[in-house]
Structure 1
C-alpha cells in the first residue's frame, strides 16, 4: 500500500485539485484508492458530493480515537475510489491535539490499520492519498508521520518557490524525529501556461534545483479543471476529453510507474533495516 501526502503551506497551488484528480485517475487505471481529506475546509469532500455540514462520521472521529478510518469511508462517483471526509470541526480538533500525548502519530496508527482492511471481497487499498491543509501544523505533521511519500504541488507562477525550503525542512525534521522512511518523491508543476515565459522559467528552475524529483507530467491551466469542483465530479468524468484529464492521467501513469517499492537490501546497516521492518510490519520487500 502506497501512502502519499500532498502538502504545500500555500493555498491555491493546485493541491486539492491534484489530490482529487490524481486519486480519480489512479482508480480509473485499476488501482484501489482511499483519499483522506485532512483540510478543515473540506474542499475534497465537498468536491466529491459530500454534505460536509451534516457529517455523522469524519476525520474528527479518527483524531479523537473514536473510529478507525475504515469506518468513515464514503463511496465516490468513481469506481474503486473512497474518501474519508472532513469539515471545519477538524480545525478545533487540531487545537486540542497540542495537549495530547503522542499527538503527532495519531493518524499513523489509523492508516496502519487500513493495510489489513478489506474494501470489498479480498481487496485492500493500494493507494492512500492525503490532502493536507495549507499549513505546517499538527494535522500536516500527523500526515508526514503516517506516510512514506510526499508530493509537493507547485504553481508555475511568480514566487512559486517561496516557502519551499521551509516546507522541505519540515519534511526532513519529521523524517529525523518521527518517520525515518519519509521522502519527498515528487514535485508536481501545476497551473502551467505555455503562452508565458514565466511558466517555462519556473519549470526550468525547479528542474535545476530538484533534478529527478519533478514529474515529467505537467498540469496545464484548463478551464474545465476550474469548473469541475462545482459538478461534484473529478475531471475524468466532468470532461473526459479535456487537457485536464489528459494531464492527470499522464501523471497517474507516471506515479504508477514509480512503484514505491522498498527493498531492505537498500539499507546499509542492520539498524536501518530494523527501523524499516518496524515501520512496515516486518516484511523484507515492502510495497508502501
Structure 2
C-alpha cells in the first residue's frame, strides 16, 4: 500500500524542484502544507460533479471516523469551490459541534424536518469554515425521532422528500454540489432514512481488526434497501481511517479491504493524528484548526479523489419509490429486536409462504 506520507513527500519534492525551494526539514514541509490549504481559493478548484451527489456516510460501528470524515470532507470540498451541505443525523450532534453550529435544545434542526412540518431550508445554518458550506444540525430531540416515526406513513422517505423539496426550492446556481449525511452508529430508522435519501454510500473503515466485523451486516442492509426502498443506492466509496503506519496490523487490514473492495477504496488514507481529535474541541475541522497537519492534508487528498470520481456521473432522475402499497412493508419482520431496523422478509409467516 502506498504510504500517504511518502506520496506527500513526493508531491512536495516535485514542487520544490519546480520552484527551487528547499522543503527537506519537517517544519518547512508543514509550513508548505499549511500554505497550500490556507490558500485553497488561490488554487485550482475541485471539479464539479456531473450531478448533485447525496452521500450517506455510514457504518454501524462507532468510533471509525464517520463524523470526522463527513465534517472534514465537507470543509475540504467547500474550500476548493464546491457548494456543500452537511446534514447531521446523529442525535449526539458531533458534526454540528465540529462545524461550530449551535445545536442546543430549541435550535431549528433536522428533527423539525423529519418529525415536524419544517422544511429543510428553515433549519439550514451557515458555518464559519466556508461561505460555501452549510449545515443542518442535530439536537438531542433526534434521540426520540425513531420512536415518533414508527407510526408515520412512508417514514423511510421523510429525509429524502425533505432534501428533494429543498433542492427544488433553490436556483440551479445555489444548489449544493454535495449533500453529506452523517449517520448515527446504528442500523436504525435514522440510518435507514439516510440510505433511502442518498444515491451512494461512503463507508469509513478503521484500520483495525474489529472494524471488519459487522461490515457484512451493513452491506446486507444496504442491499435490502436497494431491493425494497431505494434502487439507486450503492456503496461507491471506502475510506480507510486511523491508519497507524507503525503497525503491521494496519497494513494487513488495509490490504484486505483493498483486495475485497478494489477500486472503491480511496488511495488517500487518513492517519492517526492528534490534531484530528483536538479540532472539534475548538468548534473546527482539522483543516481549519491545523491546516499543516497530516490529518488535514490527508482529508484534502481524500476530498480531491471524491470530487474527481464525481466528474463523469451523468444526471439522472431520482428513482421513484417502489410502486407497491406502503402497507406491504408491514408484512416484513425486522432483522433484530430493534423495531426501527431495516426490514427483511420473514419466511415463517403464513401470508409470506402464500
Normalising by structure 1, report the TM-score: 0.89
Q: For the residues of structure 1 that align with 2:314 and 2:275, how far apart are their CA atoms?
A: 41
Give the drift of 1:53. 2.0
For residue 252 of structure 1, report the CA deviation from its aligned partner: 0.5
Structure with larger Rg: 2
* Residue of structure 2 in register with 1:190 after alignment: 241
| Correspondent of 1:112 among 155, 164, 182 | 164
**What residue in structure 2 maps to residue 60 of structure 1?**
111
Residues 198-249 of structure 1, C-alpha deviations (whole Å, 9 max, x = no match): 0000000001111111111100011100100001111111001110111000
Match of residue 228 from structure 1: 279
Equivalent position of 2:319 in the other structure: 279
Instruction: Indicate yes or no: 2:185 matched with 1:134.
Output: yes
Contact 2:83 2:175 in 1 (8 A): yes
Choose which of 191, 206, 211 in structure 1 pairs with 2:257: 206
- CA separation in 1, counterparts of 2:259 and 2:93? 35
Match of 1:250 among 276, 301, 313: 301
Number of equivalenced pairs:
268
Partner of 2:230: 179
Deviation for aligned residue 1:263: 4.2
Q: Which residue of 2 aligns with 1:11?
A: 62
Paired with 1:242 and 1:277, the residues of 2 have a C-alpha distance of 40
- Give the conservation status (yes or no) of the 8 Å contact 1:114–1:125: no
Q: CA 1:255/1:58 → structure 2, altered by over 3 Å: closer, same or farther?
A: same
Contact 2:103–2:109 at 8 Å: present in 1 too?
Answer: no
TM-score, normalised to structure 2, is 0.73
Distance in 2 between residues matched to 1:101 and 1:54, nearest whole Å: 26
Structure-2 change in CA distance of 1:3 and 1:39 (3 Å): same
Render the CA deviation track for 1:155-209: whole Å, top value 9, x for unaligned: 1012221000000001110011111111100111000000100000000000111
Asked if residue 165 in structure 1 is aligned to residue 216 in structure 2, the reply is yes
Deviation at 1:49, TM superposition (A): 2.0
Which residue is equivalent to 1:44? 95
Distance 1:212 1:185 in 2: 9
* 1:54 Cα deviation after fit: 3.6
2:72 counterpart residue number:
21
Q: Give CA deviations for 1:101-120 in whole Å, capped at 9, x if unaligned.
A: 1111111101112322438x
Which structure 1 residue ranges, 4+ long, deviate > 4 Å from structure 2? 260-264
CA contact (8 A) 2:105 2:141 kept: no
Contact 2:115 2:148 in 1 (8 A): no
Q: How large is the RMSD of aligned CA atoms in angstroms? A: 1.7
Q: Which runs of 5+ in 1 are unaligned?
A: 265-275, 281-288
Q: Decide whether the 8 Å contact of 2:146 with 2:189 is kept in 1.
A: yes
